[in-house]
Structure 1
Amino acid sequence: MDNLTHSLVGALIGQGGLKRKTGLAMPALIIGANIPDIDAGCLFWVNGVEHLAIRRGITHGPIAMVLLPLLLAGGLWWFDRWQAKRGTRPEGRLSVDFVSLFALAFLATLSHPALDWLNVYGVRLLEPFSSRWFYGDTLFIIDVWLWLVMGAATWLSLRREKRGGAWRNPAWLGLVVTMLYIGANWTISRDFARMHSLELGSTAIAAPVPFDPRKRDLIFRGEDGRHHIIPGYRGPTAERVSVEKVGDAWWPSCRLDELARSDPQIAAFLFWSRVPLVERIDDGSLVLRDARFLDPRAVDRFTVALPDDACSQVFDQRAE
């Protein structure tokens, strides 16, 4: 998920009352909820799509879930001591307890891969012990309704706290509503995917879409070997949208495994990709894409150019 969502989760946990456990609890919760994304630093030294093979990996795995909170708690504990020595420590700050700081940072850090699991991008929850990708297919990577619910709950909690009211209640209500919303979306995705997997005879992915949590883009591979999508599907009682051809993946005729051994871009893409497809674009060249990310605005981040001789046969996607 996006970092605003992660931050709001940390803030709500704190406003639920945990920020009173120790000094610097809120920084531990909010920073901890975001800290696994330190792997974004790889964007400064990798080329092209190689970041896809690095992101959401070892910093989201079990070792990091212990080590990162430990480092964060140690850094905040040192910062409190440093301020005290300089005489700049705020008088109203609670005493800082290292064990409590670590426990809060650990809780917040655990929330990060849990949220990342909810979308179709995936997360490697067992890295470095296993490179398997896990997918929740529950929420779009940016969910404005989560922003609204959690943002309003955080604002109301802070407002009540300032006025001396029951400030914990709005935070807990926001967390409960958030969990119910996530549960409802998980159920929708599972029902759509299961129904179409049975109907089509192949595994279907129910990918959440922006803004409308009732809809899913259903992605599947047809009997002809082509990838298809039913965009914006809303269930069996709604009018079905005709199947739209979105690309080709004719693996027997493409030497992608061979190319991946000499091209780190292709290797990284295939390692990350869940629904890879080879597409012939307007100028006749071939590109490697993923059916989850076909938005033209995502071309630079989720596309790899292939040599003209990469495939001996690729159907024209515009052909009937």
Structure 2
Amino acid sequence: MDNLTHSLVGALIGQAGLKKKTGLAMPALIIGANLPDVDAACFFWLDGVEHLGFRRGITHGPIAWLLLPLVLAGLLYGFDRWQAKRGTRPKERLPVNFNWLYLLSFIACLTHPALDWLNVYGIRLLEPFSSRWFYGDTLFIIDVWLWALLGFATWFSLRREKRGGEWKRPARLAIMVALVYIGLNGAITARAERAFENWFLGVGLVEEQVIASPLPLLFWDREVLVYGPSAGWHEFIYPADNHANGEMRPLGETTCNLDAAVEQAVPGKELEAFLFWSRAPFAERAPDGSVILRDARFYDPRARDRFSVALPDVKCEELPAN
């Protein structure tokens, strides 16, 4: 998920009451909720799409869940001591307890991979013990409805606290509503995938893969991506195209033979990273007859540098006719 969502989750957990456990609890919760994204620093040393094979890996796995909160808690604890020595420590700050700082940082850090798992991008939850990708297919990577809920609840809770009212209950209620919202989206995804799997099975077609991808704003709809071994990736909108109505919308102008393209390509770090990351790869014919590797989840001809790899020396071999 985006960092605003992560930050709001950390802040809302604090407003639910945990911020009173120790001084500097809110920084621990908000920073901790974003901490696994330190892997974004890879953009400084990786070229092109090499970041696809690095991000959402080692800093999102079990070892990082333990070590990153420890580092954060240590820094915050040291900062508090440093301020105390200089005489600049705010008088209203609660006493700082290292154990509580670590626990809160740990809880916040765990919310990060939990949220990242919910979208179609994927996350390697077991890195470095396993490089397997996990996908929740539940929320769009930027969910404005979640923004509205979490943002309003945080503001309302802070406003109540400032006025001396009951401020924990609104935050706790918002957390419960958010969990219900996530569960509802999970059910919509499962229903969309099941509808297409059953439909194709009913007409005697065996598809290798069905991905129901949440849409921005329209959380009740799904972009369903269906893969056929001889037809490539096709797109439907659920529930509008629940039974396809005979309309097959292929992704890309002309789909090439992916295996042949990869076999002809000169090995390189960008190609390796893309193939490692890609869940729904396909090869598209470029205007000059060469090949561009794309992922059906993020098909956008304008996003060439982010989620695709150009193979200028490879010629497109079209898929065989059905």
Change (3 A) 1:8 1:297: farther
Find 2:296's aligned residue among 291, 295, 310.
291
CA contact (8 A) 1:189 1:208 kept: yes
Unpaired runs of at least 5, structure 1: none
Q: Counterpart in 2 of 1:224?
A: 230
Change (3 A) 1:251 1:305: closer
Q: Counterpart in 2 of 1:156?
A: 156
Say which is worse superposed, 109-118 or 291-300, in terms of deviation: 291-300
Q: Counterpart in 1 of 2:199?
A: 199
Q: Counterpart in 1 of 2:318?
A: 314
Q: Counterpart in 2 of 1:233?
A: 238
Q: AA paired with 1:47?
A: D
Q: Counterpart in 1 of 2:49?
A: 49
Q: Counterpart in 2 of 1:214?
A: 220
Q: AA paired with 2:260?
A: S
Change (3 A) 1:257 1:237: closer
Q: Counterpart in 2 of 1:264?
A: 269
CA shift digits 1:223-272 (9 cap, x unpaired)? 52411111x32267799693211143524433x25746x31110000000
Q: Counterpart in 2 of 1:246?
A: 251
The alignment of Structure 1 onto Structure 2 pairs a total of residues equal to: 314
CA shift digits 1:85-135 (9 cap, x unpaired)? 000000000000000000000000000000000000000000000000000
CA contact (8 A) 1:249 1:276 kept: no
Change (3 A) 1:282 1:237: closer
Q: AA paired with 1:146?
A: L
Matched position secondary structure for 1:38: helix
Change (3 A) 1:249 1:109: farther
CA shift digits 1:244-303 (9 cap, x unpaired)? 11143524433x25746x311100000000000000023322100000001234222011
CA contact (8 A) 2:157 2:170 kept: yes
CA contact (8 A) 2:289 2:315 kept: no
Fraction of identical pairs, as percent: 59
CA shift digits 1:122-168 (9 cap, x unpaired)? 00000000000000000000000000000000000000000000000
- Map 1:115-126 → 2, pairs under 5 A: 115-126=115-126
Change (3 A) 1:99 1:212: same
Change (3 A) 1:249 1:166: farther
Structure 2 Cα separation of the partners of residues 155 and 239 of structure 1? 44
Change (3 A) 1:315 1:238: closer
Structure 1 Cα separation of the partners of residues 132 and 315 of structure 2? 27
- Map 1:170-181 → 2, pairs under 5 A: 170-181=170-181
Structure 1 Cα separation of the partners of residues 81 and 58 of structure 2? 31
Deviation, 1:56, is 0.2
Change (3 A) 1:310 1:70: farther
Q: Counterpart in 2 of 1:72?
A: 72
Matched position secondary structure for 1:112: helix
Matched position secondary structure for 2:282: strand
Q: Output the TM-score relative to the length of structure 2.
A: 0.92
Matched position secondary structure for 2:126: coil
Structure 2 Cα separation of the partners of residues 113 and 241 of structure 1? 39
CA RMSD for the aligned pairs? 2.0
Structure 1 Cα separation of the partners of residues 70 and 275 of structure 2? 34
Deviation, 1:220, is 1.2
Change (3 A) 1:23 1:206: same
Q: Counterpart in 1 of 2:7?
A: 7
CA contact (8 A) 1:227 1:249 kept: no
Matched position secondary structure for 2:52: helix
Q: AA paired with 1:218?
A: V
Structure 2 Cα separation of the partners of residues 310 and 130 of structure 1? 35
Matched position secondary structure for 2:88: coil
Q: AA paired with 1:52?
A: L
Unpaired runs of at least 5, structure 2: 201-205
Structure 1 Cα separation of the partners of residues 55 and 119 of structure 2? 14
